[in-house]
Structure 1
Amino acid sequence: MKSGRESVTYAGAHRRALAWAGAIDRAVPRESRVVGVLGTGGVHTCVGVLAALYAGATVVPLHPDFPAARTAHMAEAAGVRLLLTDGAAGPGAGPVPVFDLDDEPPGAPLPAPLPVAPSDHAYILFTSGSTGRPKGVPLTHAGLGHYFRLVDERYDFTPDDVFSGTFDLNFDCSVFDLFCAWGAGAHLVRTPPYAYRDLPRHLAEEQVTVWFSTPSAIGLARRTTGLAEGCLPTLRRSFFAGEALRCEDAAYWQRAAAGSALENLYGPTELTITIARHRWDPATSPELAVNGVVPIGLVHDGHEHLVVDGELWVSGPQMAAGYLDPTDDEGRYVRRDGVTYYRTGDQVSPAPDGQLRYLGRRDNQLQIQGRRVEPAEIEHALRACPGVEDAVAVGVPSGAGTELFVFYTGDRVPPGKLAKNVAESVPAALVPRHYRHVAELPLNGNRKTDRRALLAEAEKELRAPGIPD
Structure 2
Amino acid sequence: MPGALAARFLRGLAVAPGRTAVRAHDGALTYTELHERALRWAGALPGGTVAVLASKGLDAYTGVLAGFYAGVTVVPLSTEFPAERTRRMIEAAGVTALVTDERGYGTLPAVLGDTVLPVLCPALTEGPFPLIPLDGAPPLAEPRPVDPADPAYILFTSGSTGRPKGVPISHAANEHYFGVLDARYDFTPDDVFAQTFDLNFDCAMFDLFCAWGAGARLVQIPAAAYRDLPAFIAESGLTVWFSTPSAIALVRRTGGLAPASMPGLRWSFFAGEAFKCGDAGDWQRAAPASAVENLYGPTELTITCTAHRWSPATSPRRGVNGVVPIGELHKGLDYLLLGPDGEPADGEGELCVTGPQMTSGYLDPADDRGRFIERDARRWYRTGDRVREVGGELAYVDRMDGQVQVQGWRVELSEIDHGLRSCPGVEDAVTVAATAGPDVELVGFYVGRPVPPVELARRLRRTLPERMIPRRFAHLADFPLNANRKIDRSALRTLANTIVNG
TM-score range, shorter chain: over 0.9
- Please tell me the residue identity of whatever aligns with 1:106: D
The residue number in structure 2 matching 1:317 is 356
Unaligned 5+ runs, structure 1: 465-469
* Counterpart Cα distance in 1 of 2:274 and 2:54: 27
Note the alpha carbon deviations across 1:369-405, whole angstroms, 9 max, x for none.
1000111111111111111111111011232421101
- Summarize the alignment of residues 19-418 of structure 1 with structure 2, pairs less than 5 Å apart: 19-24=40-45, 28=46, 30=47, 33-89=48-104, 90-91=107-108, 92-93=111-112, 94-102=115-123, 105-107=134-136, 108-309=138-339, 310-351=349-390, 353-418=391-456
Conservation of the 8 A alpha-carbon contact between 1:241 and 1:370: yes
Q: Which amino acid aligns with 1:105?
A: L
Equivalent residue in structure 2 for 1:435, among 460, 470, 473: 473
Q: What is the aligned-residue identity percentage?
A: 57
Aligned to 2:6: none
Higher mean displacement: 131-140 or 428-437: 428-437
**1: CA distance between counterparts of 2:77 and 2:398?**
29
Q: Distance in 2 between matches of 1:40 and 1:157?
A: 27
Deviations 1:328-380 (A, max 9, x none): 001111011111100000000001x3200100111121101100011111111
Q: Report deviation, 1:427.
A: 0.9
Q: Which residue of 1 aligns with 2:463?
A: 425
- What is the CA deviation profile of residues 140-161 of structure 1, one whole-angstrom value per residue up to 9, with x for unaligned ones? 0000000001111111111111
- 1:40–1:170 Cα contact (<8 Å) kept: no
One-letter code of the match for 1:364?
G
Q: 2: CA distance between counterparts of 1:297 and 1:364?
A: 24
Deviation at 1:106, TM superposition (A): 2.5
Contact 1:220 1:400 in 2 (8 A): no
> Matched residues in 2 for 1:78 and 1:225: separation?
43
Unaligned runs of 5+ in 2: 1-21, 125-132, 340-348
Cα pair 1:121 1:138 within 8 Å, conserved = yes
**For residue 331 of structure 1, what is the amino acid of its counterpart?**
G
Go from structure 1 to structure 2 and tell me whether the alpha carbon gap of 1:40 and 1:215 turns closer, same or farther (over 3 Å shift).
farther
Q: 1:286-330, CA deviations, whole angstroms, 9 ceiling, x for partnerless residues?
A: 011110011100010111100111100000000001000000001
- 1:428 is matched by which residue type in structure 2? E
Task: State the distance in 1 between where 2:303 and 2:54 align.
Answer: 20
CA distance in structure 2 between the aligned counterparts of 1:122 and 1:253, rounded to whole angstroms: 34
Instruction: Find the aligned partners of 2:240 and 2:432 in 1 and give their Cα distance.
Output: 34
Contact 1:39 1:169 in 2 (8 A): no
SS in 2 for 1:77: helix
Q: CA 1:149/1:115 → structure 2, altered by over 3 Å: closer, same or farther?
A: same
Contact between 2:436 and 2:501, CA under 8 Å: does it hold in 1? Answer: no
1:72 partner letter: R
Check whether the contact 1:230–1:257 (CA below 8 A) recurs between aligned residues: yes
Q: CA deviation at 1:422?
A: 1.4
| Structure 2 contact 276–322 (Cα < 8 Å) conserved | yes
| CA spacing shift, 1:101–1:257, aligned 2, 3 Å | farther
2:499 aligned residue (454, 461, 465): 461
Contact 2:26/2:58, CA 8 A, preserved across alignment: no
CA distance in 1 between counterparts of 2:280 and 2:246 reads 11
CA-atom RMSD in angstroms: 1.2
Is this contact kept in 2: 1:166–1:213, CA < 8 A?
Answer: yes
2:415 is paired with a residue whose SS is helix
C-alpha separation between the residues in 1 aligned to 2:31 and 2:134? 17
The secondary structure found in structure 2 opposite 1:230 is: coil
Tell me how far apart the structure 2 counterparts of residues 119 and 226 of structure 1 sit (CA, whole Å).
44
Structure 2 distance, partners of 1:430, 1:63, is 14
How far 1:5 sits from its partner (Å)? Answer: 4.0
Name which of 431, 446, 459 aligns with 2:484.
446
Q: SS in structure 1 opposite 2:196?
A: coil
Counterpart of 2:82 in structure 1: which amino acid? P
Q: Give the CA deviation at 1:238.
A: 0.2
Higher alpha-carbon deviation: 182-191 or 376-385: 376-385
Q: Provide the C-alpha distance between the structure 1 equivalents of 2:140 and 2:463, rounded to a whole number of angstroms.
A: 38
Number of residue pairs the alignment of both structures matches: 457
Pairwise CA distance, 1:202: 1.2
> Structure 1: how far apart are the matches of 2:477 and 2:189?
61
